[in-house]
């Protein structure tokens, strides 16, 4: 069996699309963090700045797994490691 370059490029594009599905997890996680932060500010409005900075830090760390998916997609689309 022999595949030409266009076939491999098309499959790489599909793979890149599948890889960015990884964005679902961080989206849910960040939403939960933001929701709890909103509840915390509602309960204790004086601690708004502390709650906000902690929330942003946690969200940025939770984002990492989604960014790994993005990196895989970028590699597949622009570096094209599978094309001989």
| Shortest distance, position 8 Cβ to another protein, whole Å | 12
Whichever of 1 and 76 has its CB closer to another protein, that residue is: 76
Judged on CB neighbours under 10 Å (0-12, 13-18, 19+), 29 is: middle
The two tokens of residue 80 are: 């094209």
| The two structure tokens encoding residue 25 | 């997890």
- Backbone phi, psi, residue 46, to 5°: -70, -25
CB of 47 to another protein, least distance (A): 14
43 or 78, CB closer to another protein?
A: 78
Cβ-based nearer residue to another protein, 41 or 70: 70
């Amino acid at each position: 069996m022999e595949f030409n370059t266009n076939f491999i490029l098309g499959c790489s594009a599909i793979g890149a699309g599948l890889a960015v599905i990884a964005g679902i997890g961080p989206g849910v996680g960040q939403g939960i963090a933001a929701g709890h932060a909103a509840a915390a500010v509602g309960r204790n409005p004086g601690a708004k700045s502390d709650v906000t900075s902690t929330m942003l830090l946690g969200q940025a760390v939770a984002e990492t797994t989604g960014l790994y998916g993005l990196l895989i997609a970028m590699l597949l689309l622009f570096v094209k490691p599978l094309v001989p």
